[in-house]
Amino acid sequence: MLVLLDDGRLIVAKSYAFNPHVRGFISRLNRLGFAHTVQHADLSVVMGYYSGQQVQERHSDMQMAAKNLFEKAVALRASDIHIRVSKRLRTQIFFRIHNDLEFVEEYSFDYGEKLCSTIYQAMADVSDSTFEHMSRQDARISEKSKIPINLDGIRIATSPQVDGYIMVLRLLYNDTSSDLDLVKLGYEQFQSDSIEYMKKKPTGVMIIGGPTGSGKSTTLQRVLGSIIHETQGRKHIITVEDPPEYPIPGAVQTPVANADTEEARSKEFQKAIKAAMRLDPDIIMLSEVRDNPTARLVVQAAMTGHQVWTTVHANSALAIIDRLRDLGVHADLLTDPTVIGGLICQRLVKQLCPHCKAPLTENLGRYDERDIKRFMHVLHMDKVFIQGDGCDQCRGSGTMGRTVVAETVMTDNELMKYIKNGDRLAALNYVRQQGVMSMLDHAIKKINLGIVDPFQAEDIVGVLNAGLTEK
């Protein structure tokens, strides 16, 4: 169950952390005044000390390999590391860079097993006691000595596949809070001003929509960070997150207790929201609305005098209302502008490398004539650039980072009247008359500025001339 080393370290097997014999041994050390530090590890590590420390050395070697892998991913500014362990295809490692998966390395099946087992059991500090290959498990690495200095943590998710399993590591960078300006993320100034207006509403839910990986958490972190900065900490902000991703200095960030099933996780989330509402908050942030009970609690929090910020998976700003309706929120509440205070939706599009991007007009022969004709209806062709062949500045990729395309809608009685009557076209026309730019229009503007490739933009926001049929 445990091993006491001559340097004062007491290595305790995770699965026996609360065993009465282990607790009794620790109590005895305390009574004797024996200086020691408790460290939890996999059972095999403890056993390794009794058999020549072979397992410990193996973990030590694999930890070094894992650290090198993390450093390499951070150097390339990857958002995720995918480790696919397959008996048929061996172990393949991919990095997600600017939303694309890039193949990095390939190893044997045994190497992948050792690497994933070490990452989960010897490096994670929030995890189950053992790594089960054929189970879906979540974990997190937070200990600073185990991750690059650029990271706050690494979130781990595992799942079985047909002939093995996959481990996905989300890298949580710690530089997201250094700049709170939304314009630098890619928002237009008037869109940023709209969000500033939402921040001044004393009550109501402000919702950020978008698919997974669209930067919602980063936008949310910057919004809350700016509120804390502007109010000099006078606002009591409580977050309920599953799990907390980015640090928000000045906010009380509360994690949702780990749960084995989606139903149990939902119940824990509800308990955490109810607890947050009893802690005298000015502002509540919920990481995601994912089911009917959560949606109802979000609305209830807004109705009881709180400003609430949250995210939801939705395809457009107005579609956020539809999503909440699908989750069972009553239509009268959804169409009350004092309850639903603001709607934001965003995507991320790659930015062209300014050093090697190429003018579209000089490369027309490379593309289908129908695409070019479609672009001619909506683009200033002489200002459009496409992804180049790559250069030293962009590591041969042709792109440098990503930029937001977004739409921001401030709700009012007129808009909600159209939505309540089910007149979606009138609601859409109304927000356009208010000067709201759609994500499609935002993408077109960035293409005409020469910073986004039109073909890559279409992959994210859809065909560029789709807006013509709406008007």
DSSP conformation letters of 334-361: HT-TTTEEEEEEEEEEEEEPTTT-EEGG
pLDDT band per the 50, 70, 90 thresholds, residue 471: very low
* pTM, to two decimals: 0.76
Q: What is the pLDDT of residue 55?
A: 45
- C-alpha dihedral over 185, 188, 191, 196, to 10 degrees? 60
Please state whether the peptide bond connecting residue 243 to the residue before it is cis, i.e. omega within 30 degrees of 0.
Answer: yes
Q: Which residue has the higher pLDDT, 61 or 428?
A: 428
Strands 204-209 and 307-312: parallel
What is the Rg, in whole angstroms, of the alpha carbon atoms belonging to the chain? Answer: 25
pLDDT band per the 50, 70, 90 thresholds, residue 128: low
pLDDT band per the 50, 70, 90 thresholds, residue 365: confident
Do 356 and 221 contact (CB within 8 A), yes or no? no
Query: Percent of the chain scored above 70 by pLDDT?
Result: 94
Would you say residue 15 has pLDDT above 60?
Answer: yes
CA 316 to chain centre: 18
Structure tokens at 38: 């408790």
Would you say residue 250 has pLDDT above 50?
Answer: yes
Name which of 443, 466, 467 is nearest 454 in CA terms.
Answer: 443
Q: Which residue has the higher pLDDT, 181 or 58?
A: 181
* Mean pLDDT along residues 172-199: 87
* Mean pLDDT along residues 81-104: 91
The predicted-structure confidence for 42-55, as pLDDT tens digits, reads as follows: 887 887 777 655 44
Residue type, 100: D
Structure tokens at 130: 């053992």
Q: What are phi and psi of 469, to 5 degrees?
A: -80, -15
Q: What is the pLDDT of residue 18?
A: 86
Cα separation, 368 vs 372, in Å, equals 7
Cα separation, 205 vs 340, in Å, equals 5
Would you say residue 469 has pLDDT above 50?
Answer: no
Cα separation, 422 vs 177, in Å, equals 40
Task: Indicate the range of 315-329, 381-395, 455-469 predicted with least confidence.
Answer: 455-469
Q: What is the pLDDT of residue 266?
A: 82
In order of their start, the domains of the chain are: 1-41 (no CATH), 47-173 (3.30.450.90), 182-353+398-437 (3.40.50.300)
- The top-scoring range by mean pLDDT among 10-19, 143-152, 177-186, 399-408 is 399-408
Sign of CA dihedral 440, 425, 214, 226: positive
Q: What is the pLDDT of residue 14?
A: 86
Q: What is the pLDDT of residue 285?
A: 94
Cα separation, 116 vs 106, in Å, equals 14
The predicted-structure confidence for 155-173, as pLDDT tens digits, reads as follows: 899 999 888 999 999 998 8
CA atoms within 13 A on the CB side of 141: 28
Q: What is the pLDDT of residue 265?
A: 77
Structure tokens at 429: 């026309």
Q: What is the pLDDT of residue 258?
A: 63
Residue type, 416: M
pLDDT band per the 50, 70, 90 thresholds, residue 192: very high
Bridge partners for 312 per DSSP: 209
The predicted-structure confidence for 393-446, as pLDDT tens digits, reads as follows: 888 889 988 999 999 999 999 999 999 999 999 999 999 999 999 999 999 999
Query: Percent of the chain scored above 90 by pLDDT?
Result: 55
Buried/exposed 123-157: b ≥16 CB within 10 Å, e otherwise: bbeebbebbeeeeebbbbbbeeebbbeebbbbbbe
Q: Where are the beta strands (DSSP E) in 242-339?
A: 252-255, 283-286, 307-312
* Residues 6 or more apart whose Cβ sits within 8 Å of residue 297: 270, 273, 274
* Mean pLDDT along residues 60-69: 88
- Under DSSP, the state recorded for 415 is H
pLDDT band per the 50, 70, 90 thresholds, residue 468: low
Q: What is the pLDDT of residue 126?
A: 65
Coil/strand/helix, residue 194: helix
* Mean pLDDT along residues 232-261: 82
Would you say residue 464 has pLDDT above 60?
Answer: yes
Would you say residue 146 has pLDDT above 80?
Answer: yes
Q: What is the mean pLDDT of the chain?
A: 88
Coil/strand/helix, residue 445: helix
The predicted-structure confidence for 258-274, as pLDDT tens digits, reads as follows: 666 677 878 888 888 88
Q: What is the pLDDT of residue 317?
A: 95
